[in-house]
Amino acid sequence: MSTAARNRHPGINLGNTDPHTHAQAEETLFGFWVFLMSDLVLFALLFATYASMIGATDGGPGPKDVFELSSAAIETGVLLLSSLTMGMASIAMKYKEHPTRLYGWLGVTLLLGLVFLGLEAHDFVKMASEGATPQRSGWLSSFYALVSTHGLHVLAGCIWLTISIIQLAVFGLRSEVKLRIMRLSLFWHLLDVVWIFIFSVVYLGGLA
Amino acid sequence: MPTTEGWWPLLFGRLSYDALPFYSAIATAAASVVVLGAITVVALITYLGRWRWLWREWLTSLDHKKIGIMYVVIAMVMLSRAVVEGSMMRAQQAIALDNPGYLEPEHFAQLFSTHGSIMIFFMAMPFLTGIINFALPMQIGAREVSFPLLNSISLWLTAGGAGLMMVSLVIGKFSTGGWSGYPPYTDAAFNPGVGPDYWIFAVTLSSLASTMTGINIAVTIYKKRCGGMSPFRMPLFCWTSLCTSVLMIFALPPLTVATGLLALDRYVGTHFFTNDGGGNMMNFANLFWLFGHPEVYILILPAFGVYSQVISNFSSKILYGYDSLIIATMCIAVLSFTVWVHHFFTMGQSADLNAVFGIATMTIGIPTGVKIFDWILTMAWGRVRFTVPMIYSLAFMVLFTVGGLTGILLANPAIDFQVHNSVFLVAHFHNMLIPGLLYGMIAAYTYWFPKAFGFRLDEWWGRVACGCWITGFCLAFLPLYPLGLMGMPRRTQEFFEPAYLPYTIVAGVGALFLLAALASLVTQLVVSIRRREELAVPGGDPWNGRTLEWAIPCPAPEYNFAVLPIVDSRDAFHAYKEKGTAYLDHRFYSDIEMPKNSMTGVVFGIALAAASFGFVWHIWWLAVLGVLVAIAAPVARSFVLDTTRIIPAEEVRRDHEAWLARLRKLPPADRAVETTPQNRGLAEAAAA
Amino acid sequence: MSAEVEEQEKKRELRSYIVGFVLAISLTALAFLVVAADLQTSTAYVVIGIAALAQVVVHFRFFLHISWQRSTRDDLQLILFTTLIIILMAGGTIWILNNLHHRMM
């Protein structure tokens, strides 16, 4: 029988490395999963709104006028890489590697998150300077609403990362801190899942 | 007064003297009632020197029972306001033949908007959330909900939204777009005032609070059940609460999206629902009812659970068709996501599309019908006791079936085209929600009141209130069916068709009964508090109950169960009583860990309500400050590690043994005398 | 639990992240290449759609560790139910609004 089969809950977990926190995580993490699913529905409706407004450019710029494949590709790469580094952070925490590793992976993830936000802000500024503001048309309104809701989530994730790093420094690897970092990693991975739909539907769908 | 230049707009945004309600005598009177009411409450608490007590025992408490009670208090206060508003509209319509009446059209439109918004978001939602919060953890044998702090945050968000609704009565004019807030009525182009903004923010706060409550309740049911409480041993109320919370989790996000995008249209100038710039206001109707239809079942399912408990309890029988009731509840929950188009059949989509949603709508009648039969068969050959909760349940079964039948009519798009936007619709949804929700919630309030405060509610005044609610409902809403078929549009402030008048007068008389019902509820509470010694039920089991919450003292201790129960059947407490193991001395007690009080919820809720007020009036510093405080509060809290306190085993043992000693001296009460002072909360069945 | 078992488990998890990352990046690259290569629009849509769905599965499987074989199924059931709701809501919205759009034009 593999150790995984004895896990009280599937998904990201602490397994037998910290049985006490692992037992607590069953309830906390399940609650967070439920929240994430609710959040996913929110994104789904923003997507549906976007899809229903694809033609509503009101004579203004359309996807082919304002999107750039290269910047979307770079953003996608950065976010995907940050998912990997977040995964490395979870492993470093679970298997109690040297603390500098955990700090390092969390720090890299934070950095990648900030780079992503910077790239996105740069895109928005550039689009706005070409006249593609949210006020221009229904399609642009729905584009900005969808993509910046994701951006706001990433920003929240970055704040959360910063707080986690501070709490690690203040409290060390207490079970409260562990549980928060586990939830953070769920949050971060799920933002990447949402981004898959954004680059596929919004950017690639618009440029294809 | 300088209101557009200099320092004024920086400090106070678009607030000005004109925001005060002195333009109309009625608005001034309403605002005065709110202000005087607030001053009276504050003065009274100060006079009694109870501020510290209120803060420590209630406002910052994370106890699920106290949070539940505070929700119900919010619901009752808001119910009073909304019933008065409804009665004002009925009074207007009773005199509105060729007569502008006493309410201006604008004012009438504000009234139906606030009436609807309050009844749904600040009466019904807090009421059912409060009842679930109060009763559910005890029913599954738990001491707490999964996330006590989140619970307090939800409560204070709801309170903040309700507060915003009350403030809107004093400062500024409310939206005229109805409870569903459709653009263009709520669009900046049509209404640049503060009304729609009040609606958006109050509803958004309530929506976020309900999403979090849904998560909390669902996880509690999944993870916090006591030993032996497998899902198919849970009381039916737990099942309906589970389905309601699942609906809350998935159906509230569309509302948040709808209000959020509407806010962007109004504040940023985007084009989601505008008439120009490629906007599509039909998407608002779509998003709103994606939430709105599951919402109907969020409202009704908990009441179904209450009725199941009450009918089984007061028929002294196990619930008939338990499994079928659960399956029916789950079917309703899933089907409720597939029918939202029936709220806008006439919007212009194709007949095929309407047909799909019409058929889906009709299928919901099937599981609901199953439930009615199950309840009838629960009563059959039982020993039915006509207590107040039972009378509400019976009234519900009859009236709800009538309402359900008119719902099947409306589900047919061809019929819907004929009666849409008429008072037939008003009659239908009041017919569903008053018996389907309000009666259930008042029945729950009556049923569980002793568990909260240790004494029963006065039976006679309860019956008076019940009679008035039933008579009032029938008179005020049944005439609207023929009136709707005659063609009277809803939301009519003045009309010119003499044939309408007799019906609107009857409906007006009905509104008087509803006001009397409200007054009787208040009287009942006052009378019961005065007679609390006589009505006390320290034994903890005033109704010969069947489920776990009746196995503990009245009022319930903070930790609910001195020792966590282990159950081996459905209706566990009833089984204990039959076996004679209901009141045992426990050999082992252990320390109990309970959450400490926290002011995070209070700060969070007030900060977001203040921020909302800032947004409504364009007081940007307040908006930013409120949002920052709301972010800082949970962050600061996350640095607090010492969040629980220990109740020593010795203290638990002492209290529990004292209760048992007292219980054994109580006179057992036969069911025939359960509404008299002879009932001290010890059932004869248990003593025998 | 012995250190050896723990070490094995750690390796397994590490491998899972790396495999997931490689799969995800390949699927992403495929989708972007299809657009960069200017394929026929309808073909491109199909490829992008399949790649996106595959990548979602990869993320859930390798990054979020959700699979079919574990003993507790709460998380999986939750995700599947959410998928159903999303299909109903988003699909319904698009259907209704396109139908309206079509009839209004």
Q: What is the pLDDT of residues B588-629, one digit of tens each?
A: 999 999 999 999 999 999 999 999 999 999 999 999 999 999
Residue B235 clears pLDDT 80, i.e. is over it: yes
Q: pLDDT exceeding 90 applies to what percent of chain B?
A: 93
- Binary contact (B250, A37; C-beta < 8 A): yes
Domain ranges for chain C? 1-65, 69-105
Q: What pLDDT is attached to residue C105?
A: 67
Chain A residues inside the 8 Å CB shell of C52: 196-197, 200-201
The residue of chain A with its CA nearest to that of B268 is A135
Ordered structural domains, chain A, with CATH: 69-207 (1.20.120.80)
| Residue C19 CA from chain centroid, whole number | 15
Average pLDDT over chain B, rounded to an integer: 95
- B2 vs B317, more confident: B317
Q: What pLDDT is attached to residue A125?
A: 97
Distance between CA atoms of B267 and A189, rounded to whole angstroms? 32
Q: For the segment B193-229, what is each residue's pLDDT rounded down to a tens digit?
A: 999 999 999 999 999 999 999 999 999 999 999 999 9
CA distance to B62, B70, B372, C87, per residue, from B66 (Å): 8, 6, 33, 39
Number of CB atoms found within 10 A of residue B635's CB: 13
Q: For the segment A77-129, what is each residue's pLDDT rounded down to a tens digit?
A: 999 999 999 999 999 998 888 889 999 999 999 999 999 999 999 999 999 99
Q: What pLDDT is attached to residue C75?
A: 79
CA distance to B187, B283, B344, B346, B479, per residue, from C100 (Å): 21, 10, 12, 11, 35
B94 with B505: CB under 8 angstroms? yes
Residue among C55, C82, C90 minimizing CB distance to A196: C55
Neighbours of chain A (3+ CB pairs under 8 A): B, C
CA atoms within 13 A on the CB side of A148: 16
Q: Which residue has the tokens 């399609």?
A: A139
Q: pLDDT exceeding 70 applies to what percent of chain B?
A: 99
CA atoms within 13 A on the CB side of A152: 8
- Which of these, B403, B234, B210, B404, lies nearest to B308 by C-alpha position? B234
Confidence class for position A8, pLDDT limits 50, 70, 90: low
- Distance (Å) from the C-alpha of residue B341 to the closest C-alpha of chain C? 9
H/E element, B131: helix B125-139
Helices marked H in chain A — which ranges?
19-52, 63-66, 69-94, 99-129, 138-171, 175-197, 205-207
Distance between CA atoms of B434 and B470, rounded to whole angstroms? 9
Number of CB atoms found within 10 A of residue B236's CB: 25
Confidence class for position B417, pLDDT limits 50, 70, 90: very high
Distance between CA atoms of B640 and B570, rounded to whole angstroms? 41
Q: For the segment B650-672, what is each residue's pLDDT rounded down to a tens digit?
A: 999 999 999 999 999 999 998 88
- Binary contact (C32, A76; C-beta < 8 A): yes
Task: Give the B-side interface with C, CB within 8 Å.
Answer: 222, 246, 250, 254, 280, 282-283, 286-287, 290, 337-338, 340-341, 347-350, 353
CA distance to B544, B555, B571, B584, per residue, from B578 (Å): 12, 24, 11, 13
Chain C residues inside the 8 Å CB shell of B340: 92
A203 with A73: CB under 8 angstroms? no
Q: Which of A3-7, A162-166, B580-584 has the lowest mean pLDDT?
A: A3-7
ipTM (interface pTM): 0.94
- Binary contact (C70, A3; C-beta < 8 A): no
Question: CB-based contacts of B53: which residues, under 8 Å, 6+ apart?
Answer: none
Distance between CA atoms of A100 and A189, rounded to whole angstroms? 22
A173 with A93: CB under 8 angstroms? yes
Mutate to test the interface with A, among B270, B627, B641, B643 (most CBs of A within 10 A): B270
Which regions of B605-651 does DSSP assign to beta strands (E)? Answer: 644-647
Q: What pLDDT is attached to residue A98?
A: 84
CA distance to A6, B18, B238, B318, per residue, from B231 (Å): 22, 57, 9, 17
Q: For the segment B62-95, what is each residue's pLDDT rounded down to a tens digit?
A: 999 999 999 999 999 999 999 999 999 999 999 9
B196 with B183: CB under 8 angstroms? no
Q: What pLDDT is attached to residue C17?
A: 93
Amino acid identity, position B65: K
The residue of chain B with its CA nearest to that of C79 is B250
B349 with B282: CB under 8 angstroms? no
What is the DSSP secondary structure assignment for residue C77, as one 8-state letter? H
- Binary contact (A58, B261; C-beta < 8 A): no
Distance between CA atoms of C34 and C47, rounded to whole angstroms? 8
The reported pTM is 0.96
Which regions of B109-194 does DSSP assign to beta strands (E)? Answer: none
Q: Which residue has the tokens 């109707």?
A: B285
Confidence class for position A4, pLDDT limits 50, 70, 90: very low
Q: For the segment B442-485, what is each residue's pLDDT rounded down to a tens digit?
A: 999 999 999 999 999 999 999 999 999 999 999 999 999 999 99
Residue C71 clears pLDDT 90, i.e. is over it: no
Q: What pLDDT is attached to residue A6?
A: 45
Written as six digits, the tokens of B375 are 């309840």
A6: exposed, middle or buried (C-beta count within 10 Å: 0-12, 13-18, 19+)?
A: exposed
Residue B149 clears pLDDT 80, i.e. is over it: yes
CB pairs A-C closer than 8 Å: 144
Confidence class for position A2, pLDDT limits 50, 70, 90: very low
Written as six digits, the tokens of B102 are 């006493």
Residue B536 clears pLDDT 50, i.e. is over it: yes
* C37 contact A CB<8A: no
Q: Which of A145-159, B17-31, B51-65, B345-359 has the lowest mean pLDDT?
A: B17-31
Q: For the segment C51-68, what is each residue's pLDDT rounded down to a tens digit?
A: 999 999 999 989 988 877
CA distance to A37, A39, B133, B144, B408, per residue, from A30 (Å): 11, 14, 19, 17, 39
Residue B688 clears pLDDT 70, i.e. is over it: no
- Distance (Å) from the C-alpha of residue A74 to the closest C-alpha of chain B? 28
Average pLDDT over residues B120-147: 97
Q: What are phi and psi of B686, to 5 degrees?
A: -75, -35
A15 with A2: CB under 8 angstroms? no
- Binary contact (B250, C104; C-beta < 8 A): no
Written as six digits, the tokens of A72 are 């979307």
Chain C residues inside the 8 Å CB shell of B220: none
Mutate to test the interface with A, among C28, C34, C96 (most CBs of A within 10 A): C28
Q: What pLDDT is attached to residue B18?
A: 86
Chain C residues inside the 8 Å CB shell of A98: none
Q: For the segment B270-290, what is each residue's pLDDT rounded down to a tens digit?
A: 999 999 999 999 999 999 999
Q: pLDDT exceeding 70 applies to what percent of chain C?
A: 92
Q: What are phi and psi of B279, to 5 degrees?
A: -70, 160
The answer to whether the Cα torsion of C26, C27, C28, C31 is positive or negative is positive
Q: For the segment B239-252, what is each residue's pLDDT rounded down to a tens digit?
A: 999 999 999 999 99
Mutate to test the interface with C, among A1, A49, A188, A204 (most CBs of C within 10 A): A204
Angle subtended at Cα B313 by Cα B440 and Cα B450, rounded to the nearest 5 degrees? 70
* A13 contact C CB<8A: yes
